[in-house]
Amino acid sequence: MSSPKAIIIGSGIGGLATAIRLAVMGYAVEVFERNDYPGGKLSLIEKDGFRFDAGPSLFTQPQNIEALFSLANEPIEDYFNYQSVDVVCHYFFENGKQLKTYADKTLLAKTFEEVLGEDRNAVINYLNDAEKLYNNIGTIFLNHSLHKRNTWLHSRVFNALKHVKWSYLLGTLHQYNQSKFKTAEAVQLFNRFATYNGSNPYKAPGMLSLIPHLEQNQGTFYPKGGMISITKALYQLALKKGVQFHFNKNVTAIVHEQKKVKGIVVNDEQVSASLVVSNGDVYYTYKKLLKQDIIANKISKLERSSSALIFYWGIQKEFSELGLHNIFFSNDYKKEFDHLFEKKTLMDDPTVYINITSKMEKTHAQVGGENWFVMINAPTNEGQDWQALVSEARKNIISKLNRLLRTDLEKYIVSETIMDPVIIEQKTGTYQGSLYGTSSNSKWAAFLRPSNFSSKIKGLYFCGGTVHPGGGIPLCLQSAEIAAAIIKKNEQQ
């Protein structure tokens, strides 16, 4: 008897993880990818002797990847290696203060007190509360479908309700942080965690205060070879499990009849299957592949997450004051988010994030140089003059870095590649170039995010950053687990 067939559209991190899970479940899995490489946003740029991770640069919760290798009964060390990072991030403020956030919680709290004048106990208490919030409430939202009745009837939901505070639901993350810290720098630093899912800390609920738990309590890690090694490891694991990949294959339709999936159309040919999982943007899936405009329009009305403007700079100089992760804060954080989400443009004093993997592996840059992944948050693509915005942003970023690093950066930039929201939309198929699908700028956002299955078409499922539980590597991997669990249960019926 032949194995049941499953088709996955897109080989982003969620698609790769779903392919592995379904292959282990006994499906004959085929993945169709419109690009000539796997990984989606988690890809690689190599130019002029420098190499850059093109997309996500922060690695947390390695247990999500370990779980896939354990499930597949394969030794992870043959595919993937990583190490913990002692200094999580270097922060630079316009008032001249500089702060290193350490993985060690006690050292972190001590640094907050010595550098910022913040009560060390406030930091410890905040992170302890973040851990409780994540373990008691967050895991329900992140590990289970919010669109299945049995999720809400489980006893864990009633236990979680005991830990819900009004400040998590009714107040914003900024208001919550203001109630916990006395210094503006500490408030701004913890406000930043809203950007982990492309949201506005001045609108997103206090519930997002659980995010620092992932970075500061559970730890930050560095994968050997850079973030692209995650893609490579999962791709090789999928191949080992018998998954077939078809690159340069743009899926143009999902075929369904009498409320059942029949397959896909690719290169004007139909490929049959009774099970299809879309790892593509859920808006485009409904709009272009299913031609269901009503559902697509409903999704389009949900506020999008932020996008990004990224400069990949080859720097012919080494900066000892910088580390793997670096943040140069805006002097007016609220104004920056007002520009992003209300005015749909960039502010002249953006917060700048710099990732430098050559700090961990010197071979990622020319001798004596560094590979700078320089990113600022950007609005989604709504037809702005991006050429003008990119040009102005470049000047403002360099001016800011010159001021805070006391340097003349321009003369050290020997290589440059640029990624803006338009290019992100073109390369990854994400609606308006949003990095995380919809934003979390309301207390109902988690419930409004599209589900991991179709209630109208049997055999149709979804994974990735534009559906529950959201964007970012950990959540994409969890979306794959949720989708696979629903598939397993449905197919057993």
pLDDT tens per residue, range 346-392: 999 999 999 999 999 999 999 999 999 999 999 999 999 999 999 99
Which residues does the chain have with pLDDT short of 50? 152, 158, 166
In three-state secondary structure terms, 224 is coil
pLDDT at 468: 87
Query: Cα–Cα distance between 178 and 188 in angstroms, integer?
Result: 9
Residue with tokens 């949720």: 482
Return the H-helix or E-strand segment holding 20: helix 13-24
> Does CATH place domain 5-40+228-302+438-492 in 3.50.50.60?
yes
Backbone dihedral angles phi then psi of residue 476, each to the nearest 5 degrees:
-65, -40
Q: Measuring CA to CA, which residue among 184, 183, 200 is closest to residue 192? A: 200
Query: Cα–Cα distance between 52 and 371 in angstroms, integer?
Result: 7
Query: Cα–Cα distance between 18 and 476 in angstroms, integer?
Result: 10
User: Whole-prediction pTM value?
Assistant: 0.94
Residue with tokens 């179709």: 454
pLDDT at 166: 47
pLDDT at 204: 94
Residue with tokens 């593509």: 280
Query: Cα–Cα distance between 208 and 436 in angstroms, integer?
Result: 15
What residue ranges of the chain are covered by domains with CATH 3.50.50.60?
A: 5-40+228-302+438-492
- Tokens for 150, please give them: 């049995």
Sign of CA dihedral 405, 411, 415, 420: positive
Q: Which residues of 396-411 are buried (b: 16+ CB within 10 A; e: fewer)?
A: bbbebbeebeeeebee
Is residue 277 within 8 A of residue 381, CB to CB? The reply is no
CA distances from 406 to 2, 3, 321 (A): 66, 63, 11
Pairing mode, if any, of strands 244-246 and 28-32?
A: parallel
Could you check whether the bond before residue 469 is cis, i.e. omega within 30 degrees of 0? Answer: yes
Q: In the sheet that 244-246 helps form, which strands lie side by side, from edge to edge? A: 244-246, 28-32, 5-9, 276-278, 460-462
Pairing mode, if any, of strands 370-378 and 276-278?
A: unpaired
- Tokens for 156, please give them: 């864990």
Burial status of residue 363 (CB atoms within 10 A of its CB: 0-12, 13-18, 19 or more) = exposed
Query: Cα–Cα distance between 412 and 185 in angstroms, integer?
Result: 30
Backbone dihedral angles phi then psi of residue 450, each to the nearest 5 degrees:
-55, 150
Q: Measuring CA to CA, which residue among 53, 44, 46, 40 is closest to residue 374? A: 53
In three-state secondary structure terms, 64 is helix
